[in-house]
Structure 1
Amino acid sequence: MTVTATATETVKPKPAATVAVKATTTVRTTVTAQAAGDSGGGSGGGTSTYYANCSAARAAGAAPLYQGDPGYRSGLDRDGDWVACEA
């Protein structure tokens, strides 16, 4: 008598690795309080907004920035046309 045995192994494939990417943008806002009794002359008081770069301004939904807009500064205006962070 002859006996033959056959074994079959089924292997499940492992799922592919998952990579998570987290981007962080920092926007800094400075608020300066006006002293009581101050006439409000000049540019004292109000809110001052600072964007480290145009990517930060775009991420905050503020770009493009025009001269006079909160966060506008000449360092973000590459061509000197008073519009910063243009597309």
Structure 2
Amino acid sequence: MDIEVESQDLPVVRDTDVSTVGEQEITAFGEQLMGTNDESSEDIKAEEPVEKSADEFIDDDEARSLEDILLSIPLDIPLPSAGMEITKIVMGKEIKIP
């Protein structure tokens, strides 16, 4: 399917209000970043971020090993999955979940 662009009546838009952007001086900003400015570079002091170690964020449960956590579970408490009867699914029959 070929579309003939020349045969279509398309509106012609001309932007006559075009202005050019003059040169911008950014050397003062660069001097501030490099710290070569005379007064303002002395006033601004960068503080080094204090890094917290990963050990400070670990609570008591995370500090315990997995074996210790499993041994703390009493043996006479059944698991939640063991309390329900497993429903067998038979093809062609209705499924009821209690």
User: One fold, TM greater than 0.5?
Assistant: no
| TM-score normalised by L of structure 2 | 0.21
Q: Higher Cα Rg: structure 1 or 2?
A: 2
| TM-score normalised by L of structure 1 | 0.22
